[in-house]
Amino acid sequence: MKNVIFLAPPLAGKGTFSDYLEKEFGYLHFSTGSILREKSQQDESLKKILESGELVKDEIILPLVEEVIKTREKSKPFILDGFPRTLQQAKKLDIILSGLGVLDVVVVSIDVEKETLIDRVIGRKVCNKCYRSYNLNILAFKPKVNDVCDSCGSKLITRDDDNLASFQIRYKTYLESTSPIIAYYKKKGCLRVIHNDELDQTKSLNILRGVISEH
Ligand SMILES: [Zn+2]
């Protein structure tokens, strides 16, 4: 199985894709968003950056990414989710990965209409312990019990950055910074695009399975 880098706007379905790879194929899931949110609980300035929806500086995020990949369980493939966010980070990541001997990587761009993303923002809840995400407006992603995590039984919360204004900033930032990355990986030949239509989840996951098994 190939190691996977996800490129996707907020709420495009990275969480669902990642859950699928973890459960079906034993992937390790490195979400820079979760790692940073955890770290921000002891770091007030980092917390402010995250709440504003701005990008976190390379000096903070690059060493964290290198550390998790370096110390991972090496028999398993991994998912990198939420990184890289800029072309510069993509180039630095290439250096980190080749330095660590990680060569089998596919970059999966998840493509979703902006209107669909906005619908998802409104109903989203996330577990305050394991970060699994839910959506009250989408039947397949509703928790079994209101405001309780299906996986670990903890309370579901609305994340600080889950509001429409913050979404608009994150979406704009995503488009501006990620288009050059997509072009970069496309040129390298390791980019695959998956359209993640709500009604077509099974199809999207089947395509994903094909992508990670390519030779
Ligand atoms: Zn949970």
144 CA → ligand 1 middle, Å: 12
d(CA 76, CA 28): 7
125 CA → ligand 1 middle, Å: 11
Which domain covers residue 160, as residue numbers?
Answer: 3-213
25 CA → ligand 1 middle, Å: 21
Which CATH number covers residue 107? 3.40.50.300
103 CA → ligand 1 middle, Å: 33
41 CA → ligand 1 middle, Å: 17
SS3 at position 125: strand
Mean pLDDT of 89-94: 95
The phi-psi region of residue 53 (left if phi > 0; otherwise alpha if psi is between -120 and 50; otherwise beta) is: left
80 CA → ligand 1 middle, Å: 20
- β-partners of residue 4 are 79, 106
Mean pLDDT of 76-82: 93
By CB neighbour count within 10 A (0-12 exposed, 13-18 middle, 19+ buried), where does 121 fall? buried
148 CA → ligand 1 middle, Å: 8
Edge-first strand order for the sheet with 105-111 is 28-31, 78-81, 3-7, 105-111, 191-195
Q: What is the pLDDT of residues 37-67, one digit of tens each?
A: 888 898 898 899 888 877 788 998 998 899 9
153 CA → ligand 1 middle, Å: 6
Q: How many domains does the chain have?
A: 1
104 CA → ligand 1 middle, Å: 31
For residue 15, CA distances in Å to 66, 79, 96, 191 come to: 22, 11, 24, 19
Q: What is the pLDDT of residues 155-204, one digit of tens each?
A: 999 877 668 888 898 899 889 988 999 999 999 999 999 998 766 678 89
133 CA → ligand 1 middle, Å: 8
126 CA → ligand 1 middle, Å: 8
pLDDT reading at 14 higher than 90: no
156 CA → ligand 1 middle, Å: 8
Mean pLDDT of 65-82: 93
Q: What is the pLDDT of residues 1-11, one digit of tens each?
A: 999 999 999 88
3-state secondary structure 52-94: HCCCCCHHHHHHHHHHHHHCCCCCCCEEEECCCCCHHHHHHHH
- Yes or no: say if 135 and 125 are a contact pair by the CB < 8 Å rule: yes
